[in-house]
Copies of this chain bind each other. A is one copy, B any other.
């Protein structure tokens, strides 16, 4: 089997992988929206991926990655997240500006490159956004910590990490009385701007922006 995939194929595999993460069901329309393309194009690619044995696909019914497809997806995610670590830790990129660049670097497939990069970075387990990095066998630590926007409402949790060390972020956190170890609950979310309302013990309810929420990692307690 040819283990070499086009950039387009890899982007579809990765998008299916992410969309199918929590529950499992992905639709043609969702996928088209995620990839900024048209449903007809998605259908075309689904047929190609099926022919490549990366996808189970029943027209009009459903589709999901095969075991092989999943393995490929994890390899792509690994590359993406390792490059994000590199960009932030070594090249001093802001954690919020690395995604687009990593999206290009992730398609350089050399296994040797990826494993040496991994070693160079000290075999990190999480990327700058707190997402876990699969190892070279595709095994991924289920993160104890999750990004704050993923925390369910009214669930007590504790701040375990922040997504960057920028002084701007730290200044804002100090002002909001948030630090590592702070206990909080999410009370509400406004879908207009994805801002969150938080309750911290002995403090009034506060509102934080989506960007700030993304920079906070918590574990439930």
Check B110–A101 contact: CB distance below 8 A. Answer: yes
Chain B binder among A26-34, A52-60, A113-121: A113-121
Q: How distant is the Cα of A101 from the Cα of B111 in the complex, in angstroms?
A: 10
Chain B binder among A90-98, A172-180, A196-204: A90-98
What is the copy number of this chain in the assembly? 2
CB distance from A95 to the nearest CB of B (A): 14
Report which of B104, B105, B109, B116 forms a contact with A91, defined as CB distance below 8 A: B116
Q: How distant is the Cα of A105 from the Cα of B109 in the complex, in angstroms?
A: 10
Interface residues of A in 76-124 (CB under 8 A from B): 87, 90-93, 100-101, 104-105, 108-110, 112-113, 116-117, 119-120
Which residues of the partner chain B approach A120 to less than 8 Å between Cβ atoms?
90-91
Q: How distant is the Cα of A101 from the Cα of B107 in the complex, in angstroms?
A: 12
Which of chain B's residues has its CB closest to A107's CB? B104
CB distance from A23 to the nearest CB of B (A): 34
Check A110–B116 contact: CB distance below 8 A. Answer: no
User: With A87-B113, A104-B109, A108-B108 given, can you name 6 additional A-B contacts, CB distance below 8 Å?
Assistant: A90-B120, A91-B120, A92-B116, A101-B110, A101-B113, A104-B110
